[in-house]
Structure 1
Amino acid sequence: MKKIGRKLIHLLLLFLALNLSLAGLTRRAKASDDAFYNMKARAAYAIDAQTGQVLYQKNANKTYPIASLTKILTLAVIEQDIKDHRLSWDQKIKITPAVAKVANDWHFSNVQLNAGEQYSVRQLVESMMLVSADGSTEALALADAGSTVAFNRKMQAVARKAGVTDAKIYNMIGLPNGSLGKHRLKNVDKDTENEMSAKDLALVSRYVINKYPETLKITKKKFANFDVTAGQQYQMVNINALLPQNGYAPKDWEIDGLKTGNTDAAGKCIVTTGTYAGRRVILVALHTSGDWNNQSKMQKEFYEALAANYQPVELKKITDLPKGVQQARVVHAKKQRHVRLQLAEPQWIWLRKGENWSAAKPKFIPANNRQSVTGRLEAPLKKGQKVGQIELQIQGMPAMKVPVTSSQKVAVRSFWSR
């Protein structure tokens, strides 16, 4: 009987554990369903470019092939070297037979480049960003660094500056390695492609936009002429369907970038950016479902749903929030049990329309290095010292955290002196 009783208890515990696990999965699924928009894509990520507030995420940290979205990072390297006077916008680049072969291959996105002909850096950059010209991209990278390997190193360095540490970079274009012919990487499988996460691409895009404003002057152009030869001109039409007055331009938004991409492995990918009510948003979607029109339609719907349901509101001071988070309990202090908090700085936050800060359920979370063993804020504290974050649960969006500091000095009890 004792053995039977133990077995029944074990079965009961297993049953409870399974139910708790399923309940957790249900809650996680519901949390995903609660997002204000469902992007039908393998991965997606949207941020406020100025503050970094995450507005939407879906499989955002997992790396996937990114196709020609790679060219955003390629452009960052070129613009960095222009700024450092290693290149210039008017510098002419002579096209080699190997580059011309890629540029004139109908399988790829391109403008015509003739071997022996010279084209300016500006011409090649415009064709790379407006019509995703692969040959132009290769010409730029090789002129800049001399080889695919050397340019890859530059791309990795810029990615790290943007906060990306695990980018898998094999070439400047985003094509499978084998497609680069003479300039492919040796000892790397021919089908290998560049891989990054949706979050990483948002970080790189944010870095490029903030560091090199010239980027958006290029990507917002609807048309640009490309001089193939002295007597032959090709009009490039920007493939971004969300630009103003285009078919999928979102209402009340000013979209001015950024890049699309497509390979068999990556599927249809896109990064767009634009402004609304003075705020810039960056939206990344990898391997979207349907055709190009459907991809553009989803981007348009996302921007319009964001503006319809949320508005940017400035959180100016801690007293804008409920009294419960204007101060924090502090342990091991000499005289006081609480410390007054203050915002590290005012911050703009996308808040659901019709709701106030109380609806976001603000909660103070002490910094890891300021927590006691019980998880409380611990003395001593210096005035102005960062002591933690206020977490905000904004309906339909991922939780966000606002840094806070101590508004006063708090001495430690002598017993706890270190």
Structure 2
Amino acid sequence: MKKLRRVMAHLLVVILTLTSMSMTSIVTSASETVDARAAITIDAETGQVLYAQNATKRYPIASVIKILTLAVIEQDIAQGKLKWDQKITISKDVAKVANDWHFSNVPLNEGESYTVQSLVESMMIVSADGSAEALAFASAGSTAAFNKKMQAVAREAGVTDAKIYNMIGLANGDLGAQRLKGVSKEAENQLSAEDVAKIARYLIDKYPSVLEITKQKFVNFQVSENQQYQMVNINSMLPQNAAASTHGEVEGLKTGMTDSAGNCFVGTGIFNGRRLITVVLKVPGEYNNQFKVTDAMLGLVLDKEHYLSVNKLSDFKKGVQSVIVTHAKGKGVKTVPLTIKKPVTLWLGKNVNLKHADVELILDKNKRTIGGHKLRAPVKKGERVGVLRVHVAGQLGAENVDLPVYATKTIEKEKGSWF
């Protein structure tokens, strides 16, 4: 379906849900909703969900899918299959899409060659569909082959149930001869807000240099020897722009807009010293509302939550610093102190501190004895043995956050062990 050129009808705001660090949803009050069909905010480093609204249901996401397209191209470059300065020659089919104003914002001439770098910039800065196609075909040769690569990278990012059809974000039929065969022409990529956040987190973590591309406001694109096109970033949340965030500095990532998807946006930036990732899907009203709604969601999070550093297990209440290890029938019970490997940032409600948190030690299945409360030997120093599940009420995000814990010494099996 062709990209919107008009105001979308207002939509009924859906029930607010919250998700845990593992993105399990819970419900909160309607007063904390944002004006979007689905939305989520996560901490980019830890993955902790700070806000979630209808975040696990799949919806069309339009050109937001290009963050996954970019992740595949970045992987190809990392593996030496593509190079940033490599030139890609434009086919007749790609030129047709690139020069159709319904689909693309940057013209590409049939037979002309463009670098991977310039095609990526145009795909991410002005959402050029022809550029996305050119990159995908250079990577895999066809929509179907590139789709397999997209599916594989999505799984690496932790996304397992998304509906992924093409690299652009259009309906399958809009790709013409390059569409997926045996798939409805109306089929569109469908991901949840949670899925999009996972892919964005994967992209930023694995290929942080993408932000050097997405934070650019103006970039020149050399269409031909005699024609240059100045691209203006369509992300209005970038600093000093009309819809710049009032809470921090946004550096990317991608807008999206079709009739079925509505106004969508996945963003990232630094807020109160932390990198956050935001997603809003189908924001009603005029273009730019997706940025206003994103900023409202950020304001809600920062107004109601704060973050603290967990440096050691004693930062929580007593009773979670050690675990019993049993290794011999009827004897040989020992205590092993536990630790976290490095400080972990935890977001809590504004009036909540670590001592308020209820914690529960959950041992890994392959290490625990029957009943689940003791470890069985052998246990190696530095080995992960379970998670400390932190239960925190009074915040917009997760009530349950899992912190991995590790043994601080080795306990070998003794003679006569029954394990």
Cα RMSD after superposing both structures = 3.0
Match status 1:33 vs 2:28: yes
Structure number with greater CO (CA < 8 Å, separation at least 6) is 2
Q: Tell me, yes or no, if the aligned pair for 2:239 and 2:249 is still in contact at 8 Å.
A: yes
Following superposition, the deviation at residue 346 of structure 1 comes to: 2.1
Match status 1:114 vs 2:112: no
| 1:360-390 deviation per Cα after TM superposition (whole angstroms, max 9, x unaligned) | 3223233333445444234446244433222
Pick closer, same or farther for the CA change 1:342–1:266 going to 2, 3 Å: same
Match status 1:404 vs 2:382: no
Pick closer, same or farther for the CA change 1:35–1:362 going to 2, 3 Å: farther
Pick closer, same or farther for the CA change 1:143–1:342 going to 2, 3 Å: closer
| 1:41-98 deviation per Cα after TM superposition (whole angstroms, max 9, x unaligned) | 3333322111222222333333322211111111112222223333222222222222
Pick closer, same or farther for the CA change 1:84–1:340 going to 2, 3 Å: closer
Distance in 1 between the 2:169 and 2:313 partners? 46
Unaligned 5+ residue runs, structure 2? 1-14, 19-24
| 1:326-357 deviation per Cα after TM superposition (whole angstroms, max 9, x unaligned) | 34567788355865432243212223334310
Pick closer, same or farther for the CA change 1:366–1:84 going to 2, 3 Å: closer
Pick closer, same or farther for the CA change 1:253–1:335 going to 2, 3 Å: same
Distance in 2 between the 1:408 and 1:91 partners? 51
- Of residues 96, 100, 107, the one that matches 1:105 is 100
Following superposition, the deviation at residue 280 of structure 1 comes to: 1.3
Instruction: Report the residue type matching 2:113 in the other structure.
Output: Q
- Describe how 1:12-411 pairs up with structure 2 within 5 A: 32-33=27-28, 37-328=32-323, 334=331, 340-380=337-377, 382=379, 383-394=381-392, 395-396=394-395, 397-398=397-398, 399-408=400-409
**Which of structures 1 and 2 has the bigger CA Rg?**
1
Pick closer, same or farther for the CA change 1:411–1:211 going to 2, 3 Å: closer
Moved more, 364-373 or 192-201: 364-373
Following superposition, the deviation at residue 393 of structure 1 comes to: 2.8
Pick closer, same or farther for the CA change 1:367–1:333 going to 2, 3 Å: farther
Distance in 1 between the 2:338 and 2:32 partners? 34
| 1:139-191 deviation per Cα after TM superposition (whole angstroms, max 9, x unaligned) | 22122222111211222222222232333322111111100111111221100
Following superposition, the deviation at residue 266 of structure 1 comes to: 2.2
Normalising by structure 2, we get a TM-score of: 0.84
Q: Tell me, yes or no, if the aligned pair for 1:250 and 1:304 is still in contact at 8 Å.
A: no
Aligned length: 393
Q: Tell me, yes or no, if the aligned pair for 2:279 and 2:294 is still in contact at 8 Å.
A: no
Q: Which has the higher helix share?
A: 1
Moved more, 348-357 or 216-225: 348-357
Pick closer, same or farther for the CA change 1:408–1:213 going to 2, 3 Å: closer
Q: Tell me, yes or no, if the aligned pair for 1:262 and 1:269 is still in contact at 8 Å.
A: yes
Partner in structure 2 of residue 14 of structure 1: none
Distance in 2 between the 1:130 and 1:36 partners? 34
Unaligned 5+ residue runs, structure 1? 1-24
